[in-house]
């Protein structure tokens, strides 16, 4: 019998046979026609084979691990739902975190799924293509498990039922939408820096901690399990983002200035996007984990700082905006929460004034800013509310042309002065919220003049529900905004006195007393 | 006897999300597939146009000639959202793993007759590259298809094909170590039998209409290739040698049977939408079927010699019957 000793393959060698050895350079069609997107951004790649696979997972192993994780996850979700797990959260204010999360996060995970699918088609190296495809399918997992975990809350609480309709319409969701729209409309390499590196690597912890640890601290086993279950996926995504940066930098020295500009841009865009996440940590979680400032110091300044030290050997410098983010970490969450509180008729989640002990916690965590700048505002708003004169800002906000945040951040070095910047393009003026957003605009004005700003669009009659007649004599732009958003009146305004508050108290009583 | 266990009953305010209640025509509980799929892709208020193809929106219905009033009509009859898909594949891989282990433990691959090995590897092993192309072409469908119903099913199918390419590779290594892979790659790149097939999948890599890619790759090519290899050729090898080839290709056989249901359902719904869709699908199927026959015929000859024509005719009849069942007259 013809016996042959099988060659023992190392993991790396075996993985290469299972992925890149499957590929070939096409000859019936030109490679540049098969992969038309990887040349126009100016990034030079000489040898795709130099790509180091950041993880080595064949599909059989992937299915084995992932199916085990899914089985456990859905068993826990079913149990949590069956046992009215929603009544075990610390207090009903917590549920507003889920409302904010459902509106902002699964739609962006979906964009990540579609974006990484595009990368998994367009990258002309077989190694990065497979890694991107795996991330794409993981992102399907993430938006779907997030929706499934919150679905049961939607049955009992207001403000979650129209998240799919609101994702492209709500004013405060357009910062996240513009972030992902910007990335997905950029070329593939910029997408990888934007999402793979800046978002997944530099900033992911700061998103993960408040939501997942927040869920754990506040008795939400459903959201907590989704988060913990996603962690090992995220670890893979982080290594992909980092490998992509290193790969570009190792391929050609000309890539450095391009990559640096993207790192600067996307770290800043991500930072702006995270202001509302920080607000969850400081204001919305009844049981707090740590302050946003502490999280920023730990995850961004320390971890991010050492990451950039590591990248210094390629010539990468710390993102330009770093200094400003360090200054802003003591301000942005307060400014954001106060901003949302002031718009009680325009969000599907409730707001409230922190209780006295919560204010003391904020004083302790923000010794340089809270008592001086924000406590007086909150106490004033509280007095006015109690006097029956609840603040209600009914005007349209002014938005940044780049990050689409409402203008509410302060001038660097001067917390009492609001920051505005202005650029002119083809005779028209455009406003931005900061030096960094202005720089992004000025680098690519032809892109950012397209930004969909709902306060402008609404005034032009472009944000109207089906059937509204914008040509009617008595038409007033914006009068139908609530219908355009499909915003349930029960979901608006103050937590105190809300249906959620009353139902939660009633149901908890029903579940725990005879 | 069922024991009457009780939980505290609280009356919910609503049964499901607004977009699903409107779609279902009633506020009633939605399945996890429906929750994970319907109406989730953005359709409006995009901020920027793609720098890589500014003629389109980020998601754009005009990327294909097929038109649908409701793109979510292209539902997956298997109801695969990520969890359901990965559980199904987890089970299939578990069985496949058992088969590979058994073949290894019993030395069945080593004991497979040399003539059988040669025959199997020659016909079968270059297919790892076909599966790889299929992965890429399905990734195109999932990237640029409209709506999550089609994009997620194509994404899962694309990952499935990466899995298939890897199972084919493993069979090659089980039969003849890694030398076999190099021989098969040379055949794929240079062997006369494989060039029409390679031209076919490479041409699809530059085709822009994603629905056409789906029809050409999944229906026309795989609709002929899978029955040829995983049914007919498999039966031939089993009869001549032993069922080892069958054991090591179970994943692909099951995959094809299952995925066909999805493909046929997508075609049926799209064809039923309008006479224009129906005519377009018929045109594509006829065009790509002829090319697929040309691409596969030399492989069929390699596998079946003089019987190839008759077998191909039969497979084409079956493919035509699938189209007819989907309401598409060719």
pLDDT in tens, B301-322: 999 999 999 999 999 999 999 9
- The answer to whether B189 and A16 have CB atoms below 8 angstroms apart is no
Mean pLDDT, chain B, whole residue set: 96
Q: What size, in residues, is chain B?
A: 330
pLDDT > 50? residue B11 = yes
Cβ-Cβ contacts under 8 Å, A157 against chain B: 13
Alpha-carbon distance of B268 to B289, in angstroms, equals 17
pLDDT in tens, A226-240: 999 998 899 899 999
- The answer to whether B101 and B218 have CB atoms below 8 angstroms apart is no
Per-residue pLDDT band for A6 (boundaries 50, 70, 90) equals low
pLDDT in tens, B98-151: 999 999 999 999 999 999 999 999 999 999 999 999 999 999 999 999 999 999
pLDDT in tens, A445-488: 999 999 999 889 988 889 999 888 888 898 888 888 899 999 99
Per-residue HEC secondary structure of A68-102 comes to HHHHHHHHHHHHHHHCCHHHHCCCHHHHHHHHHHH
What pLDDT is stored for residue A3 in this prediction? 43
pLDDT > 80? residue A421 = yes
CB A464: neighbour CB atoms within 10 A? 19
User: What does the pLDDT average to over B188-213?
Assistant: 98
User: What does the pLDDT average to over A130-157?
Assistant: 97
pLDDT in tens, B45-93: 999 999 999 999 999 999 999 999 999 999 999 999 999 999 999 999 9
pLDDT > 60? residue A4 = no
> Of B90, B162, B203, which has the smallest distance from its Cβ to A64's Cβ?
B90
Alpha-carbon distance of A136 to A159, in angstroms, equals 29
Assigned token pair, B256: 């094809």
Q: Would an 8 Å CB–CB cutoff place A169 in contact with chain B? A: yes
User: What does the pLDDT average to over B214-219?
Assistant: 98
pLDDT in tens, A284-294: 999 999 999 99
pLDDT in tens, A356-384: 999 999 999 999 999 999 999 999 999 99
> What is the reported pTM?
0.97
> How many Cβ pairs closer than 8 A exist between chain A and B?
251
Mean pLDDT, chain A, whole residue set: 94
What pLDDT is stored for residue B286 in this prediction? 98
Per-residue pLDDT band for A511 (boundaries 50, 70, 90) equals confident
B267 conformational bin, left if phi > 0, alpha if psi -120 to 50, beta if neither: alpha
Task: Give me the residue label for tokens 């509180």.
Answer: A341
> Of A36, A155, A404, which has the smallest distance from its Cβ to B14's Cβ?
A155
- The answer to whether A107 and A176 have CB atoms below 8 angstroms apart is yes
Q: What angle do CA B71, B77, B80 make, to 5 degrees?
A: 90
> Of A29, A59, A185, which has the smallest distance from its Cβ to B203's Cβ?
A29
Alpha-carbon distance of B100 to A61, in angstroms, equals 14
Where does A216-260 show beta strands of DSSP type E? none
pLDDT in tens, A325-355: 999 999 999 999 999 999 999 999 999 999 9
Per-residue pLDDT band for A10 (boundaries 50, 70, 90) equals confident
Q: Best of B39, B45, B87, B108 to disrupt the A interface by mutation (most A CBs within 10 Å)?
A: B45
Q: Is residue B177 classed as helix, strand or coil in its secondary structure?
A: coil
Answer yes or no: do B18 and A486 touch at CB < 8 A: yes
User: What does the pLDDT average to over A308-312?
Assistant: 94
**Nearest residue on chain A to B205, alpha-carbon basis:** A34
pLDDT in tens, A188-205: 999 999 999 998 887 788
Alpha-carbon distance of A111 to A180, in angstroms, equals 7
pLDDT > 50? residue A279 = yes
């Amino acid at each position: 019998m013809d016996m042959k000793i099988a060659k023992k393959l190392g993991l790396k060698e075996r993985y290469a046979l299972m992925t890149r050895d499957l590929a070939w350079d096409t000859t019936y069609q030109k490679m540049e026609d098969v992969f038309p997107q990887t040349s126009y951004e100016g990034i030079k790649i000489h040898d795709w084979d130099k790509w180091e696979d950041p993880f080595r997972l064949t599909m059989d192993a992937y299915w084995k691990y992932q199916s085990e994780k899914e089985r456990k996850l859905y068993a826990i979700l079913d149990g949590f739902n069956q046992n009215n797990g929603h009544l075990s959260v610390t207090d009903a204010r917590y549920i507003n975190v889920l409302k904010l999360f459902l509106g902002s996060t699964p739609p962006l995970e979906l964009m990540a799924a579609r974006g990484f699918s595009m990368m998994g088609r367009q990258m002309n190296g077989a190694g990065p293509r497979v890694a991107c495809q795996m991330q794409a399918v993981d992102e399907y997992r993430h938006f779907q498990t997030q929706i499934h975990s919150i679905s049961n809350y939607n049955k009992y609480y207001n403000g979650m039922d129209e998240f799919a309709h609101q994702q492209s319409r709500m004013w405060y969701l357009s910062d996240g939408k513009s972030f992902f729209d910007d990335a997905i409309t950029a070329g593939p390499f910029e997408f990888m820096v934007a999402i793979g590196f800046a978002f997944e690597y530099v900033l992911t912890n700061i998103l993960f901690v408040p939501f997942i640890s927040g869920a754990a601290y506040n008795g939400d086993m459903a959201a907590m399990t989704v988060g913990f279950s996603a962690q090992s996926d995220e670890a893979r995504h982080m290594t992909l983002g980092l490998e992509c940066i290193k790969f570009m930098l190792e391929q050609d020295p000309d890539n450095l200035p391009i990559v640096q500009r993207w790192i600067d841009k996307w770290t800043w865009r991500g930072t702006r996007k995270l202001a509302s996440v920080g607000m969850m940590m400081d204001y919305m979680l009844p049981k707090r984990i740590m302050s946003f400032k502490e999280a920023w110091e730990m995850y961004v300044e320390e971890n991010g700082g050492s990451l950039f030290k590591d990248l210094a050997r390629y010539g990468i410098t710390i993102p330009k905006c770093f200094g400003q983010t360090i200054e802003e970490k003591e301000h942005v969450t307060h400014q954001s929460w106060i901003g949302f509180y002031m718009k009680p008729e325009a969000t599907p989640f409730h707001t409230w004034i922190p209780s006295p002990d919560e204010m003391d916690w904020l004083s302790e965590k923000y010794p340089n800013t809270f008592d001086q700048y924000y406590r007086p505002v909150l106490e004033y708003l509280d007095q006015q509310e109690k006097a029956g004169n609840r603040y209600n800002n009914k005007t349209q906000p002014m938005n940044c042309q780049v990050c689409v945040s409402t203008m509410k951040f302060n001038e660097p070095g001067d917390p009492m002065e609001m920051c505005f910047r202005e650029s002119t393009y083809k005779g028209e003026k455009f406003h931005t919220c900061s030096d960094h957003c202005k720089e992004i605009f000025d680098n690519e004005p032809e892109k950012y003049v397209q930004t969909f700003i709902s306060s402008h669009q609404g005034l032009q009659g472009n944000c109207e529900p089906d059937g509204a007649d914008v040509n009617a004599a008595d038409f007033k732009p914006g009068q139908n905004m609530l219908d355009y958003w499909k915003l349930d009146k029960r979901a608006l305004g103050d937590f105190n006195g809300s249906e959620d508050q009353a139902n939660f108290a009633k149901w908890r009583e029903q579940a725990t007393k005879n | 006897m069922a024991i009457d266990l009780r939980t505290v009953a609280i009356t919910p305010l609503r049964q499901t999300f607004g977009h699903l209640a409107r779609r279902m025509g009633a506020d009633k509980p939605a399945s996890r597939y429906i929750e994970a799929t319907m109406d989730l892709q953005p359709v409006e208020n995009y901020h920027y146009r793609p720098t890589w193809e500014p003629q389109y929106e980020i998601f754009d219905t005009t990327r294909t000639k097929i038109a649908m009033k409701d793109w979510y009509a292209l539902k997956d009859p298997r109801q695969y959202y990520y969890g359901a898909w990965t559980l199904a594949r987890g089970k299939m891989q578990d069985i496949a793993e058992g088969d590979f282990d058994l073949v290894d433990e019993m030395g069945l691959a080593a004991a497979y007759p040399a003539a059988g090995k040669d025959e199997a590897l020659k016909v079968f092993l270059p297919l790892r590259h076909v599966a790889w192309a299929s992965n890429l072409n399905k990734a195109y469908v999932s990237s640029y298809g409209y709506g999550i119903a089609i994009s997620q099913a194509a994404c899962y199918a694309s990952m499935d094909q990466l899995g298939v390419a890897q199972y084919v590779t493993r069979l090659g290594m089980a039969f003849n170590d890694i030398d076999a892979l190099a021989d098969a790659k040379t055949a794929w790149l240079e062997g006369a039998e494989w060039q029409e097939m390679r031209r076919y999948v490479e041409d699809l890599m530059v085709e822009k209409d994603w629905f056409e890619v789906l029809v050409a790759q999944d229906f026309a090519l795989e609709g002929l290739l899978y029955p040829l290899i995983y049914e007919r050729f498999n039966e031939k090898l089993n009869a001549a040698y032993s069922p080892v080839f069958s054991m090591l290709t179970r994943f692909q056989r099951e995959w094809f049977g299952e995925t066909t249901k999805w493909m046929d359902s997508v075609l049926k719904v799209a064809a039923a939408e309008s006479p224009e869709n129906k005519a377009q699908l018929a045109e594509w199927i006829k065009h790509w079927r002829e090319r697929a026959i040309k691409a596969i015929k030399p492989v069929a000859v390699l596998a079946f010699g003089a019987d190839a024509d008759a077998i191909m005719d039969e497979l084409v009849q079956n493919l035509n019957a699938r189209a007819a069942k989907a309401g598409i007259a060719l």
